[in-house]
Amino acid sequence: MYSGVNFMKISTKGRYALRMLLDLAMNGNGTYVSLKDIAERENISKKYLEQIVSLLSKSGLLKTNRGYQGGYMLAKKPNEYTVGEILRLTEGSLAPVSCLDTDINECQRVDGCITLPVWKGLYKVITNYLDGITLQDMIDNSPYTQGDDYYI
């Protein structure tokens, strides 16, 4: 039975940013890739990707080149991007509860909150997990990028 509780969900922006960066990691090969090509391969609206590109470029995750042969390229190697870094950029905090969104917990109940250790523990697991996965890890562990096998 659904109780109306909101669970942490990664937004479309976060999921698409991750897919875009993975696409660049797999298809860039040191060259600039057009947004049109990424949009077609990933089946994502080019307009939506334009919004994401702005955020990723400003943060230094992407290199951009305008004009002929223009497009986008990763600013670092795929093993230097973590999923956690990408999602924090697009989602803001990954904290499971609002009182952990900032370094200083300003909740009035912080000193007597019996549930706080649970949320801190969950946050630590989420952070450690997502910060422990790089774009290169995702590529290396994908059944879609290994060998010539056909997958349905």
Mean pLDDT along residues 78-97: 93
Residues 49 and 92 in one domain: no
* Domain extent at residue 117: 82-133
| Helix (H) or strand (E) segment spanning residue 76 | none
| Helix (H) or strand (E) segment spanning residue 88 | helix 83-91
Residues 69 and 99 in one domain: no
Mean pLDDT along residues 67-93: 93
Would you say residue 139 has pLDDT above 90? yes
**How many domains does the chain contain in total?**
2
Would you say residue 149 has pLDDT above 50? no
Mean pLDDT along residues 68-76: 90
* pTM assigned to the model: 0.84
Residues 69 and 92 in one domain: no
Q: Are 21 and 84 in contact (CB under 8 A)?
A: no
Read off the CATH number of the domain in which 54 is found: 1.10.10.10
The reply to whether 98 falls in a domain is: yes
Residue 82's beta-bridge partner residues? 134
Would you say residue 148 has pLDDT above 90? no
Alpha carbon of residue 77 to chain centroid: 15
pLDDT at position 96, please?
87
User: Higher confidence at residue 43 or residue 1?
Assistant: 43
